Amino acid sequence: MRLFAPKHQKSIYDLFGDLSQILVVSSEALSRAFGEAPSERPALIRPIEKGAADAAKVTRRIANILAVSLITPFEAEVLHELSHRMSNVAAQIHRTADLTVRLGMGSLPPRLLDAATVLERAAGHTVEATWEMSDVAALSTFYDEMRRMDTHVQELLRRALTDLLRPSPPENEQAGARAAQGAPNVGSVSTSTMETPDLLGVLRTREIIAAMEEIAHAHQAVAQTVDLLRVKDS
């Protein structure tokens, strides 16, 4: 597969490299934002917002090159789909970061920070894959690597959700535990004053977990498209 571009224009391989670098920068920025105080997050997610916009522009440039390139219609279709799926990863990262700020999230569960780190590695593997796009046979292990990372991320997110939704011990058990430890019995607490803030916190965190799942799904879609390109080109 060979693509030709004017001398003043980047090759399509370079543009896919640009897309993958955007994913790396955005993934790293998301991890940093997750680990910082809420007041620091608006500034930290600015590179993510820029990355999503830049990814859309690069995807359009790829489409314009494909429209005049000397490749088969199938190859053009798959590469067009791949660029859109990579751009979607950037968009999902931006959505997650934006939700984290808009929902006023406090400290995030450690498992979400771990999941963000795994997604950073997925972005790094995507960069390596774009280096091999001129020889798609070299991409034979990419799907398997990304599948393992997806499995790891999904396990971390399920654990985070389980931790979030695990029921607290009944009040009488809590009172018994306090008595056994010698703590004074402070009496019952109004349900209306205790449950509402906790419920809102659960709902906010659940939204972030769901958004992280979408990032993982978007990465997996990229891996599937790369593997399709490899299979059809063999």
| Burial label, 16 (beta-carbon count in 10 A; 0-12, 13-18, 19+) | buried
pLDDT for residue 5: 44
pLDDT for residue 69: 84
Instruction: List average pLDDT for each run of 10 residues in the chain, which is 234 residues long.
Output: 46 93 98 96 96 98 91 89 98 98 95 98 95 84 95 97 78 52 50 57 95 98 92 72
The CATH fold assigned to 12-165+197-233 is Methane Monooxygenase Hydroxylase; Chain G, domain 1 (1.20.58)
pLDDT for residue 70: 78
pLDDT for residue 135: 81
Q: For 70, which DSSP code? A: S
pLDDT for residue 33: 97
pLDDT for residue 167: 67
pLDDT for residue 44: 95
Domain ranges across the chain = 12-165+197-233
